[in-house]
Amino acid sequence: MQTMERQAPVLETITTAHLAQFQEQGYLAFEGVLDPAEVEAAAAALSELTLGLIEAAHQGKAEVISSGANATQNYSGPRIQPPGSPCFVHFESGVDPLALDPAQAELKVRKLHGYHREHPFFTALVQHPRIKGVIEALLGQQALLFGEMALSKPPFIGSEKPWHQDNAYFVYAPLELVATAWIALDDATAENGCMYAIPGGHRAGAFRHVHGIDCQIAAGRLDLDQCVPVELKAGGGMFFSGMLPHQTPPNRSPRRRRALQFQYRGVHTRALTKEEYSRVFVEADGTPASCAVAERVSG
Ligand SMILES: O=C(O)CCC(=O)C(=O)O
């Protein structure tokens, strides 16, 4: 592993030097993407939505759904999902959210999905000039939001997200016009599960993904000596290419690590069919490398 990079600069404007760095390294990290009031509002909105889902389950208005037999380890925990709602919450493995006090259950969340239309703060945030505006500057065109998650690593039990490229989960082309904004809501450190990335790894093309802990890059593909931790204070953000190999380790510390993640694609991308994508997101020898294809093969 490489030594810690210098502390991320505070986000002001995106310069041509930033664009060159993004092309070279596949990501940019900044402190101060959100100010402290915005961080507080985001954390409060997340809690409100999550506690609302837990309350709905207690009232029988939302189901607690156990994972399917084929779920990867990262998805082996239960989820709470009201019928027909895009917004649902996923817990760490082994957690029974209804057996816990709601505040304790909220601490054991792993992911909240589909939330940006559920709270006015997030509806505005996905248009934020320091989030969508930065992505548009990096992609060089208007950006469309197509994916969102809030990712939590609970104290002591927060699970690892193994090495992957976000494009392995999608079907948009051109591949280089897909990018993610990841915003820390707590200080993200090596101890509580900050991002790790391989600078420049986005230029190596697609890596084969397989089902392990999650859908992840096959063993032996990456030179992990090149990886760097990207520590950020609450409000800091990382903007990265859909081709960048990245990972977050487990949280064995007593400090929670929450983050918002928004996925954008350039307006000039298009959605391919899985068949088409299996010929685009490929390793150097042409082998299909995406999770979507792996899922289909394994049924
Ligand atoms: O926030 C995390 O722990 C990992 C996020 C991530 O890389 C992803 O979900 O694609």
Domains of the chain, by residue range, sit at 16-297
* CA 247 to ligand 1 centroid distance, Å: 7
Residue nearest to atom 10 of ligand 1 (CA): 166
* CA 60 to ligand 1 centroid distance, Å: 31
| pLDDT by 10s per residue, the chain, length 299 | 765 556 788 787 899 999 999 999 999 999 999 999 999 999 999 999 999 999 999 999 999 988 766 666 777 789 999 999 999 999 998 899 999 999 999 999 999 999 999 999 999 999 999 999 999 999 999 999 999 999 999 999 999 999 999 999 999 999 999 999 999 999 999 999 999 999 999 999 999 999 888 899 999 999 999 999 999 999 999 999 999 999 999 999 999 999 999 999 999 999 999 999 999 999 999 999 988 665 433 32
For the CA of 247, the closest atom of ligand 1 is: 7
* CA 296 to ligand 1 centroid distance, Å: 23
Identify which of 148, 182, 202 to mutate to test ligand 1's pocket (most ligand atoms within 8 A of the CB). 182
* CA 96 to ligand 1 centroid distance, Å: 23
For the CA of 246, the closest atom of ligand 1 is: 7
Residue nearest to atom 1 of ligand 1 (CA): 151
- Residue 71 has what pLDDT? 66
pTM exceeds cut of 0.85: yes
Q: Does domain 16-297 have CATH number 2.60.120.620?
A: yes
Distance between CA atoms of 291 and 214, rounded to whole angstroms? 10
**Using the 8-state DSSP alphabet, how is residue 188 labeled?**
B
pLDDT digits (tens, 9 = 90+) for 20-40: 999 999 999 999 999 999 999
- Residue 3 has what pLDDT? 59
**Using the 8-state DSSP alphabet, how is residue 282 labeled?**
B
* CA 59 to ligand 1 centroid distance, Å: 31
pLDDT digits (tens, 9 = 90+) for 224-275: 999 999 999 999 999 999 999 999 999 999 999 999 999 999 999 999 999 9
For the CA of 151, the closest atom of ligand 1 is: 1
Contact call for residues 148 and 249 (beta carbons, < 8 A): no
Which residue, chain included where needed, has tokens 């779920």?
71
Distance between CA atoms of 215 and 222, rounded to whole angstroms? 15
- Residue 77 has what pLDDT? 85
Contact call for residues 136 and 130 (beta carbons, < 8 A): no
- Residue 297 has what pLDDT? 36
* CA 248 to ligand 1 centroid distance, Å: 7
Which ranges in the chain belong to alpha helices (H)?
A: 16-25, 36-58, 102-107, 120-125, 132-139, 274-277, 291-297
